Structures are given as C-alpha cells and as structure tokens.
Chain A
Amino acid sequence: NAGVTQTPKFQVLKTGQSMTLQCAQDMNHEYMSWYRQDPGMGLRLIHYSVGAGITDQGEVPNGYNVSRSTTEDFPLRLLSAAPSQTSVYFCASSYSRRVESYEQYFGPGTRLTVT
C-alpha cells in the first residue's frame, strides 16, 4: 500500500492564482481531512470528509474548497491564493469508528508559498 499520497510536494503561487492540492489514499478509509501546519500553531483542520459525497468545515476553512467524489481522493482547492495561505498542507485519513484505533495516517505534505 502507498498509504496517503500528496501532490505536488512543493508549489509556488502568485497572489490571486488558484490551484488544487491532490490527496489520495489506498487504505479504503472513510474519513479524510486536510490540515495546515504553521510555525508555533500546530496543525489546524481546514476541511474534512466522513465519506464520499460528504464534507464539512474545520477550524480554518476560509479560502479553501473540497469535494469527495470517491473514497480514495480528497482534493483541496485554493480559490484565490493569498500570502496568508503560505503553509505546509497535510492530508490525513482514518478508518470509521473503531474502538481499538482512531489512528490518523498523514501524507508527506505539500509546502506552498504564495508570493
């Protein structure tokens, strides 16, 4: 299994540009999430999905869109990039409710710079 994969690994955007960060998992996990990581702030939840066709907002959703058309894929779209969106983005996935394990599996991250 490849686990959770993310592309691209690095990206530089100009203010106002749009782009999509790709995330895929091959573990048949129902739950997928997007986090951003900023120095001194830990990881903050952007959006999450509990299954195909179902998404919801996290702590910092403004400026981002998501969709979940398949179990495997959960892309994150930046509508109009701003310098404040410069960050490292992590996608994560996990099984549905299992008492013995709520482990989230994280991808390797996408480092985004907006100039």
Chain B
Amino acid sequence: QQQVKQSPQSLIVQKGGISIINCAYENTAFDYFPWYQQFPGKGPALLIAIRPDVSEKKEGRFTISFNKSAKQFSLHIMDSQPGDSATYFCAASMSEETSGSRLTFGEGTQLTVNP
C-alpha cells in the first residue's frame, strides 16, 4: 500500500514556466515532508523540506505548499530551467521515530523543461 501518492508521473514545461508536483499522504503521524531531486545515474539529493507547523516554505525558486487538513503537499518550481530536468520525489516520515531516516517515498515525477 502506497502511503504517499505522487502526481503527475511525468511533466513537461517550457523554460520560464511553473512546474507543480503534488503529493498526498495517509498517515497523520507523518510530520516531516522532504522533496528529493535525482539526476540520471545519481542518488537522490535533498531539495527542500517542510514540517506541518507551517503552510509554505520557499527556498529560491522552489516552494513547498502544505495543506494539513487535506493531507496534501506540493512542490512549485518557479521560472523552470532546463537544468531542473530531473526526477523529483516527495517523501514523508515521522520525526519521533528515527530522525527521519525511515522515509516513505512517492512514486516520482520525471520533469522535463524544454528550452
């Protein structure tokens, strides 16, 4: 059973556009929600993360929006660039458990930004 569902599976945007990736979770005990970015042939790398005590977190062109009541969170990439082309994974964990080491991942979204 997939506890974190991610959509869309793939996304194509034009350079300068906004990329939006959505995730929904089931376990209300989750309290740490990171996004990881993965380039081909590489391991995932942390992009940005949020806790449910805030509704939004922004780092440069990347923003997480969090809706606790709907159990949903999303990644917005503003002014998307070809260098942003990668696979993006949302994830969730319970911080009380083991420092977030038990991550539950979404299925992944392959983002392509056309020049």
Is the Cβ of B98 less than 8 Å from the Cβ of A48? Answer: yes
Which of B43, B102, B107 is close to A90, meaning CB atoms less than 8 Å apart?
Answer: B43
> Is B114's CB within 8 Å of the partner chain A?
no
> Is B49's CB within 8 Å of the partner chain A?
yes
Interface residues of B in 81-115 (CB under 8 A from A): 89, 93, 95, 98-108
A76 CB → nearest B CB, Å: 15
Tell me the nearest residue of chain B to A44, going by C-beta: B105
Interface of B with A (CB < 8 Å)?
Answer: 4, 6, 9, 32, 34, 36, 41-46, 49, 89, 93, 95, 98-108
Q: In the complex, what residues of A have CB within 8 A of residue B105's CB?
A: 35, 42-44
A31-B101, A42-B6, A50-B101 known; A102 vs B93 contact (CB < 8 Å): yes
Chain A: residues with Cβ within 8 Å of the partner, total of: 30
In the assembled complex, 14 residue pairs joining A and B whose CB atoms fall closer than 8 Å, in A order, are A30-B99, A31-B98, A35-B105, A40-B108, A42-B107, A45-B104, A92-B101, A96-B99, A102-B93, A102-B101, A103-B34, A106-B36, A109-B42, A109-B43
Number of A-B pairs, beta carbon distance below 8 Å: 76
Interface of A with B (CB < 8 Å)?
Answer: 4, 30-33, 35, 40-45, 48, 50, 58-59, 90, 92, 94-98, 102-104, 106-109
Q: In the complex, what residues of A have CB within 8 A of residue B100's CB?
A: 94, 102, 104
A48 to B44, CA, bound (A): 17
Is the Cβ of A108 less than 8 Å from the Cβ of B102? Answer: no
A58 to B6, CA, bound (A): 21
A80 to B48, CA, bound (A): 38
